[in-house]
Structure formats: structure tokens, C-alpha cells
Structure 1
Amino acid sequence: MSSDDAIEFEGKVVEVLTGGTFKVNVAPGHDVIAKLAGKMRRYRIRVVLGDKVTVAVSPYDPTRGRITYRPR
């Protein structure tokens, strides 16, 4: 899957899980388990509970995704 195929959602971090994963609420009743994207990890951008983030979700597995952006 290329990055062009990903569907982007705006959401809010509702839970911090182990191993650098987060539970992000993207719609009422729909949560996504997301990891930090490579550039977010490389530039040490911190994501904490309550942050608004952009999540790229695969059309093949809509329950998992990558956090690609956190606005300032």
C-alpha cells in the first residue's frame, strides 16, 4: 500500500498504550490504534493524552493507523 491510498482522519488521543501506540477517537464510537509515523519519531515530536492529531488509516484495516501530524 502506498501512502496515497491512506485515508486521513482528524482525531483526539484518548489513551496512551505501551510500545509507543495510542488510541485515537476519530468519530463517536470509532477508535483507531495508531503508532507514530517515522518522521514524527525522527524529529521527536511528542504526543500526549488529549492532543488533536491527524491519523492515516489503511482502507484494508480501518482499526489501525499512523499518526502523521500534530498541530501546534
Structure 2
Amino acid sequence: MAKEELIEMHGKVTEVLPDGRYRVTLDNEHNLIAYAGGKLKKNHIRIIAGDEVTLEMSPYDLSKGRITFRHLPPKTGNMAPPPARRY
């Protein structure tokens, strides 16, 4: 039996829920409940409300998903470089 094909979508975290779950609004205005994938948990990547994320959904249940990537906000050029470290 072949592994099922997952649907990959982009969305924005609108609310952090208890038990490691998140309410995500997709680009097409569909709301769903998602959880952080294993690599996000393993590497202690924090997800907060307002983060842009990529998530995977099963074609059989479009109300649940797994967050696989957190997109970083674009950096602005107004920040000063970090101070030089002395060793």
C-alpha cells in the first residue's frame, strides 16, 4: 500500500491553544487546529501567534494539520551589526 499524499499549505498562527496545539488560518481563510511536528519539538522551535507557518494536512481530514516549518519574518536593514567578540 502506498503512503498517502499530504497536502502542503501556508497559513498564519492566530491562537496558541493548550497541549501544544495551535489555531491556524490558511491563506484561503480556512481555520484548522494544528500541532508542531517532531523536528520543531526536537529543536525547541517556539511558535507564537502571528507566525507564518507551512503545514501538512491529510486529504481525509482537512480540519487538522501538522506544522512542519516556521517562516522567519524578513529582516530590516536598520539593525546595527552585533558587537565584535573577544576571545
> Which is greater in Rg?
2
Instruction: Count how many residue pairs are aligned between Structure 1 and Structure 2.
Output: 70
Which residue in 2 is equivalent to 1:24?
Answer: 24
Match for 2:36: what amino acid? L
Match for 1:57: what amino acid? M
Match for 2:43: what amino acid? Y
Which residue in 1 is equivalent to 2:40?
Answer: 40
| Identity in percent | 43
Match for 1:18: what amino acid? P
Whole-angstrom distance in 2 between the partners of 1:25 and 1:39: 22
User: Unpaired segments of 5 or more residues in structure 1?
Assistant: none
RMSD: 1.4
Bigger helix share: 1
Higher relative contact order (CA 8 A, sep 6+): 1
Q: What's the TM-score once normalised by structure 1's chain length? A: 0.90
Which residue in 2 is equivalent to 1:65?
Answer: 65
Shift in Å, 1:5: 1.1
